[in-house]
Amino acid sequence: FLFSSRSLRPSFWWLRCLREMCTRLMRGFVVDGASGSVMDVPVPEPAEGEALVRVLVAAVCATDIEIMKGYMGFKGIVGHEFVGVVETAPASHAHLVSKRVVGDINLCCWDAASCGTCAVGGARARNHCPKRTVLGILNKDGTYCERLTLPVVNLHAVPDGVSTENAAFAEPLAAAFRIAEQRVVSPKDRVAIIGDGKLGLLIAEVLGRHAASLGEGTPMPVLFGRHAAKMGLLSSAAQVETAFAASALPVRAASFDVVVDATGSPTGLDLARSLCRPLGAVVLKSTCAAGADFNTAPFVVDELRVVGSRC
């Protein structure tokens, strides 16, 4: 045994090092239903076409919290927002080794012969392959650990001018851009965003700039939130009006062409519906483990479009 000169207590660090060298273990936060704990788990072995990534930062997302409440029935290492450094990669992508990276979280099969979705290609294959796994969400261990694996085609190098902390927002920022990518918002549409959490603020930043890019006459989006301090984090470049959600009704009822629900709460859908005008669109960004009574009548009567949106 080795002893610390201060405490004279036996130090077993060398045993841990020996075990890690022999079995390649790492620390990870493993969830199973509503329980979770930090434990030793094997370091993942990259499959063909995959890289081994050492995690520098793993961000916490509301979806992670919902998973720990039972959402998706996930078992394994949770988490999907990260920045890491590539330790190993296939020879075709050797240039990524030692680079900081972020990653797309959807892993599709790309088997065009047997998968009709992947045969179509494009965004449909990227996000909606029926055989896909999803980092930290569906049959693929995630980011709350020391190392992870991802296909090299899913990895994106972080520019040198972007800090690791800022790069950790890449995944939710991609989710915000997805709304513009889906072309839900047209010129002169009045847009509301509900929710002033991380995702709601990023959506406001994106849609505010998007509205400005659509030309003169496009209304400024409105962010409805509960926290003045959070809404105050919006940049001036976003060009977004802010208002308290508690005062939205009845003054702003049926006032918006497009309403984005980013509350993370089952009750957010009802407020979104109330703010949306007839023939408008409600964009759903919330993933919740808990259900709520859902009255379809207002959606049918007002002929509302409901658009699911994720990254």
Distance from C-alpha of 157 to C-alpha of 171, rounded to nearest angstrom: 13
Q: What is the pLDDT of residue 73?
A: 86
Element (H, E) at 185: none
Q: What is the pLDDT of residue 70?
A: 83
Task: DSSP for 264-304, please give it.
Answer: SSTTHHHHHHHHEEEEEEEEE----SS------HHHHHTT-
Element (H, E) at 116: helix 116-120
Look at residues 24, 41, 35 and name the one whose alpha carbon lies nearest to residue 88: 24
pTM: 0.84
pLDDT band at 301 (very low <50, low <70, confident <90, very high): very high
Rounded average pLDDT over 278-304: 85
Rounded average pLDDT over 39-55: 97
Residue-wise burial string across 251-271, b where 16 or more C-beta atoms lie within 10 A, e elsewhere: ebeebbbbbbbbbbbbebbbb
Encode pLDDT of 99-156 as tens digits: 999 999 999 998 889 999 999 887 778 789 999 999 999 999 999 999 999 999 999 9
The one-character DSSP state at 159 is: P
pLDDT band at 2 (very low <50, low <70, confident <90, very high): very low
Distances (CA, A) of 236 to 169, 208, 219: 19, 10, 16
Contact 60, 94 (CB under 8 A): no
Distance from C-alpha of 181 to C-alpha of 37, rounded to nearest angstrom: 38
Which residues are CB-contacts of 174 (< 8 A; sequence separation ≥ 6)?
Answer: 104, 311
Which residues are CB-contacts of 54 (< 8 A; sequence separation ≥ 6)?
Answer: 84, 85, 86, 87, 146, 147
Rounded average pLDDT over 17-39: 82
Q: What is the pLDDT of residue 107?
A: 95
Q: What is the pLDDT of residue 4?
A: 32
Does the pLDDT value for residue 29 go beyond 60?
yes
Encode pLDDT of 181-239 as tens digits: 999 999 899 999 999 999 999 999 999 999 988 888 889 999 999 999 999 999 999 99
Check residues 298 and 3 and name the one with the higher pLDDT: 298
Task: DSSP for 15-52, please give it.
Answer: HHHHHHHHH-EEEEEEEETTEEEEEEEEPPPP-TTEEE
Encode pLDDT of 63-108 as tens digits: 898 888 888 889 999 999 999 999 999 999 999 999 999 999 999 9
pLDDT band at 311 (very low <50, low <70, confident <90, very high): confident
Q: What is the pLDDT of residue 263?
A: 93
Encode pLDDT of 143-171 as tens digits: 999 999 999 999 999 999 999 999 999 99
Rounded average pLDDT over 256-271: 92
Q: What is the pLDDT of residue 5?
A: 32
Q: What is the pLDDT of residue 202?
A: 97
Distance from C-alpha of 307 to C-alpha of 46, rounded to nearest angstrom: 36
